[in-house]
Structure 1
Amino acid sequence: MITLRNLTLRRGAKVLLDGVSLTLHAGEKAALVGRNGAGKSSLFAVFNGQLHEDSGEFSLPAQWRLSQVAQHMPETDESATAFVLGGDTRLMELRAELAQAEASEDGMRIAHAHSDLADAGEHDAVPRAQALILGLGFQVHELEQPVNSFSGGWRMRLQLARALMCPSDLLLLDEPTNHLDLDALVWLESWLQRYAGTMVVISHDREFLDAVTNVTVHIDHQKLNRYGGNYSAFELLRAQQLELQQAAFAKQQDKIAHLQKFIDRFKAKASKAKQAQSRVKALERMEKIAPVLADAEFSFEFKEPQNIPNPMLVVQDAELGYRGDAAEKVILRGVNRSVMAGQRIGILGANGQGKSTLVKTVARAIEPLGGTLTEGKGLHIGYFAQQELDVLSPDSNPLEHMIRLARDVGPQAREQELRNFLGSFNFSGDMVAQAVGTMSGGEKARLVLAMIVWQRPNLLLLDEPTNHLDLATREALSMALNEFEGTVLLVSHDRALLRAVCDEFWLVGRGQVGPFDGDLDDYQRYLLDEARRLREVAKVAAAAPVAVPAPPVAAPQAQRKLDAAARQQLAARTRPLKKELAQAEQSMARLQAEKEALEARLGTPLPPADIAEAGRQLKGVVQSLEAAEERWLALTGEIEQIEGSAA
């Protein structure tokens, strides 16, 4: 077991841990949580021997084998399979021993080496390595590609696979989900649940922690507190502790009311039942952990949009991708989607399928290759790019960013107002003059959020906004998005955020964008089924590789003509339906405005006769609005069915 007794740890003059004691038993899987800078990574460094305690005692069994993910970017021409296989250090040592034995022609030594290799799993080592690689999102044809041919994020996935390949008694994982999309994340959870050793993990993904840990160690005020159970259990227990110290949690009531409003509106609607149920769960959790949220050091809110067009955006017969020097690369074809006022859309799909391409096109960062993208009048986009430096200058500081933003986009403001505003996002003192290039990922993410809030958008495009955010800031973002009055398109592998914010989902894959009929639990089952299918395909391919001839490809000019003809036929079939859909959307907007006006009137003092008349009018408007919504849903379904059959 891992034991800390009266341990003190410093970094420079700062005391991170002061006289702490902790025991982790063999086989336990512990989450290490706490605010950024509390000392989580430093404690990891004690576990792996890179740091030593300043006083007290630290011990773990001498015979334990340790595995962790190397943080440096691998640079090698080895194939992906060979690189991951190298993570099994015992196997590599025995292979070297066999080579030396064969060179010495020592028969007994050769026999012992073969026996040891068999015990170490030599017979299935390559399939095990390839199963890890495929599970983390790679394709079968990439198994033998050199490591250096992959981008940085994919090379870090190979580092993770290499760590999992290593036989270990103690596995240390520091933010293992940062470079993973949702399908790889679901696979990793399943693998870690079967891991037999002791594990300590740092992560800001609450659902990941809930799925893979059974102990939570919280660093707070230089102390370690051990809680039995996963992160949600810890959160509840800590809330109960804080509740004894706090009398009221008024600051949570507005957030709770916002969720309740959604639940009341949609709980009786079949088309929204699953989403309403997820909001019920979110409300229950908020009520339980309100003290934890009230204790958070950081919170913010999106300002009310100045106007909300409806529809926000209409994409018709679009081809999305990139224009290169020589040719166009089409990622998504035949995209036909509408974004309505107030929608909360989660965008699902594996890495490389086109999620970011879709978001970048809507954000005007890239032009569509074909078709039309029509924006509603007054559309104002707030865009959080997956790479923060796409919208930040590394040489500028936060104040300079805000001054430029206020000058170029508005609203105008004095420097002191901008300093005060940045202070509300925890940029105070010297931090407003610190170059962005020297900031942490979490600080850059907070600056991008601050810049978005300042602009008062009515459409938020968020591409992996939580990658560098700690748990407290993720909660603050979730609460702010739930209060936001505009529309949200969200790409994220943070399922807690997706569940709390999104009412519906789009699935991006195989060159298409369409609705996903289900919730995140359905999507996780879909991903696991797909992963099993791909593993079976890989096994068959490995056992009996067959050369499959490539399908005939039409000449580019002929293909474009065929595509154009197909789009014209599709447009002819869907045109009358889309016309009626637009009329339904206009009717919904008009009825919604009437409903809000009548509700506002009923909120003022009125004679009894006027109250009765307004009530009758409101009942009729609500019934008409529900009928219009049902017709809109039916038309949308018909259109998507036609478009899906033509894909």
Structure 2
Amino acid sequence: MTLLATKSLALTLGQSLFTDLTFSIEQGDRLGLIAANGRGKSSLLRCLAGMLEPTSGDVTRARGLKWALVDQDVPAAILPLTFRAATLAALDPDQAEYESWRAEIVLDDLAVPEALRDTPLGALSGGWQRTALLARAAITEPDLYLLDEPTNHLDLSRIGTLQRWLDALPRDTAVITTSHDRAFLDAATNRSLFLRATASRLFALPYSRARVALEETDAADSRRFENDLNKADQLRRQAAKLKNIGINSGSDLLITKTKQLKDRAEKLEAAARPAHRETSSGAIKLANSGTHAKALITLNDAPITTPDARPLFHTGQKWIERGDRVVILGANGTGKSQMIGAVLAAIQDAHPTIKAAATLVLGYSDQNLAQLPESMTPQALISQHANDQTTKTLLAGAGIKPDWQSWPLGKLSGGQKARLAMLLLRLSNPNFYLLDEPTNHLDIEGQEALQSELLTQGATCLLVSHDRDFIRAVGSRFWQVEKRRLIEVDSPEPFFAAELSRHS
């Protein structure tokens, strides 16, 4: 049964986001919606939910269809409510009063600890707030979920819970989800829609396999376009020869034939469609200034503690050598970010048990992008490292358009800020990268560009990430926090499996 269908849907908001978009959602579909930052994913979900009027085209919904949009942002009005009360508030008041048991079932299904259920949402982490939005949707028992970046702020155990919850939905319930988490898309979807300004592509495959099919389709389109242009060129050359012969011989038949060949060439050129070329959200380029030091960081059984000095774990005796890309693995709360902070402090000042090489040049990125002052403009920030003209060029290359360069940083999107943070890293010309959740806010294009740069530059780095594909691509060594010790492991896969199956 078709739950929802679009026909020739188009949306322009300052720029054309998508055109001639036609697809349908059947019962039980799990559709991944894929596009770069700012290319219309959230806007399309809002069109499907009836919250945004498309520029043209139609959205048809099955009679009686119930749908729920799980947005990225938590409404300010529900932040004072407890987790339980916020979930119940999604129901009609009468239903909420007499069927409060519905909230308990939903919170059980989403593995929300009892201790959090009476905690105000405003006091909870971003991950638990995202779970609360999902609970508010689930309690209404929709036929179709529209999920906008549902894995944002979730650690691996919560992503595992989300995947299990999606698997357990009734078989006829459909889900459309946007995400930049490639591993999640592979696990949670069976169809993939690559949203484009023109010629969006839909495949009945999960993300990774659909990505291969997309590349093959684009390559075939490119070959077809080149062949059509070559055929048109050959027809024009034939027409030119016949024209000369016709003029010299005075043959009206050859002159008519010449016109026919030219007409065919023009029709071929008019019908030829160039292959899709994705416009970049902004380049990510890194640098590696190099060093002769063998060990850039030395850990002499360093104690890692909470901000209020409670012990978390000891590092043991370890080194980060030139070219190492070390990933710290561990459940939330075990001290991964605290270790990043301890290494940062040791680089900036003397430390008794963490030593940095004298030639170390730091490139640091904070998971909350705290290195980007909200009130400063991109132009003022980058002009500290380059002259005015170079600053404008660098910012434009990073996806910050000229009219945005004088805006306060607080007005930029998360994706723009993330690319700006990567530009700052490049300009610091480091030989050691300290990265805390560097793929936060980056779209898939940005994640892959960052991966490529770290590998191509031969960068030395210590990093924390929840992004499984990024860790697999970048990591060359893996340190895991386990039983208050930091141990080296051969692979991140056992940790991934344990976290995804863990009930947090």
- TM band (smaller chain): 0.7 to 0.9
Q: In the alignment, what sits opposite 1:362?
A: 343
Paired letter, 1:215: R
Paired letter, 2:389: Q
The Cα offsets for residues 339-382 of structure 1, whole Å up to 9 and x where unpaired, read as 22211122222323221111122122999999511112211121
Distance (whole Å) between structure 2 residues aligned to residue 511 and residue 148 of structure 1? 31
- Quick one: which of 417, 433, 437 aligns to 2:410? 437
- From the superposition, tell whether residues 224 and 160 of structure 1 become closer, same or farther in structure 2 (CA, over 3 Å): same
SS class of match (1:329): coil
- Aligned residues of 1:319 and 1:330 also touching (Cα < 8 A): no
Distance (whole Å) between structure 1 residues aligned to residue 7 and residue 277 of structure 2? 31
Distance (whole Å) between structure 1 residues aligned to residue 413 and residue 158 of structure 2? 25
- From the superposition, tell whether residues 182 and 95 of structure 1 become closer, same or farther in structure 2 (CA, over 3 Å): closer
- The alignment status of 1:481 with 2:489, answered yes or no, reads no
- From the superposition, tell whether residues 368 and 128 of structure 1 become closer, same or farther in structure 2 (CA, over 3 Å): farther
Residue pairs, 1:297-376, within 5 angstroms: 298-321=282-305, 328-336=308-316, 337-364=318-345, 372-376=353-357
- The alignment status of 1:9 with 2:17, answered yes or no, reads no
Q: In the alignment, what sits opposite 1:129?
A: 107
Question: In the TM superposition, what is the alpha-carbon distance from 1:516 to its structure 2 partner?
Answer: 3.8
Q: In the alignment, what sits opposite 1:383?
A: 364
Paired letter, 1:7: L
- The alignment status of 1:492 with 2:465, answered yes or no, reads yes
- Structure 2, unpaired ranges of 5+: 224-274
Q: In the alignment, what sits opposite 1:188?
A: 162
Paired letter, 1:221: A
Paired letter, 2:304: L
The Cα offsets for residues 531-553 of structure 1, whole Å up to 9 and x where unpaired, read as 2xx6xxxxxxxxxxxxxxxxxxx
- From the superposition, tell whether residues 402 and 83 of structure 1 become closer, same or farther in structure 2 (CA, over 3 Å): same
Question: In the TM superposition, what is the alpha-carbon distance from 1:302 to its structure 2 partner?
Answer: 2.2
- The alignment status of 1:397 with 2:377, answered yes or no, reads yes
- From the superposition, tell whether residues 93 and 214 of structure 1 become closer, same or farther in structure 2 (CA, over 3 Å): farther
The Cα offsets for residues 43-96 of structure 1, whole Å up to 9 and x where unpaired, read as 111111111234332111232222232522454554434434555x38x74453
- Aligned residues of 1:305 and 1:486 also touching (Cα < 8 A): no
- Aligned residues of 1:360 and 1:366 also touching (Cα < 8 A): no
Q: In the alignment, what sits opposite 1:620?
A: none
Distance (whole Å) between structure 2 residues aligned to residue 166 and residue 349 of structure 1? 35
Distance (whole Å) between structure 2 residues aligned to residue 26 and residue 195 of structure 1? 12
RMSD: 3.0
SS class of match (2:309): strand
Question: In the TM superposition, what is the alpha-carbon distance from 1:180 to its structure 2 partner?
Answer: 0.7
- Aligned residues of 2:194 and 2:202 also touching (Cα < 8 A): yes
- The alignment status of 1:173 with 2:173, answered yes or no, reads no
Q: In the alignment, what sits opposite 1:460?
A: 433
Q: In the alignment, what sits opposite 1:513?
A: 486
Q: In the alignment, what sits opposite 1:526?
A: 498
Q: In the alignment, what sits opposite 2:74?
A: 72
Distance (whole Å) between structure 2 residues aligned to residue 313 and residue 365 of structure 1? 9
SS class of match (1:244): helix
- Aligned residues of 1:81 and 1:130 also touching (Cα < 8 A): no
The Cα offsets for residues 597-624 of structure 1, whole Å up to 9 and x where unpaired, read as xxxxxxxxxxxxxxxxxxxxxxxxxxxx
Question: In the TM superposition, what is the alpha-carbon distance from 1:428 to its structure 2 partner?
Answer: 4.4
Question: In the TM superposition, what is the alpha-carbon distance from 1:478 to its structure 2 partner?
Answer: 1.3
- The alignment status of 1:155 with 2:135, answered yes or no, reads no
Question: In the TM superposition, what is the alpha-carbon distance from 1:399 to its structure 2 partner?
Answer: 2.5
Q: In the alignment, what sits opposite 1:230?
A: 206
SS class of match (1:342): coil
Paired letter, 1:185: I
The Cα offsets for residues 154-180 of structure 1, whole Å up to 9 and x where unpaired, read as 333322333344412100110111111
Question: In the TM superposition, what is the alpha-carbon distance from 1:246 to its structure 2 partner?
Answer: 5.1
Q: Highest relative contact order (Cα 8 Å, sep 6+), 1 or 2?
A: 2
Question: In the TM superposition, what is the alpha-carbon distance from 1:464 to its structure 2 partner?
Answer: 1.3
Larger helix share, 1 or 2: 1
- From the superposition, tell whether residues 63 and 420 of structure 1 become closer, same or farther in structure 2 (CA, over 3 Å): same
Distance (whole Å) between structure 2 residues aligned to residue 292 and residue 309 of structure 1? 46
Distance (whole Å) between structure 2 residues aligned to residue 296 and residue 14 of structure 1? 15
- From the superposition, tell whether residues 53 and 431 of structure 1 become closer, same or farther in structure 2 (CA, over 3 Å): closer
Paired letter, 2:134: L
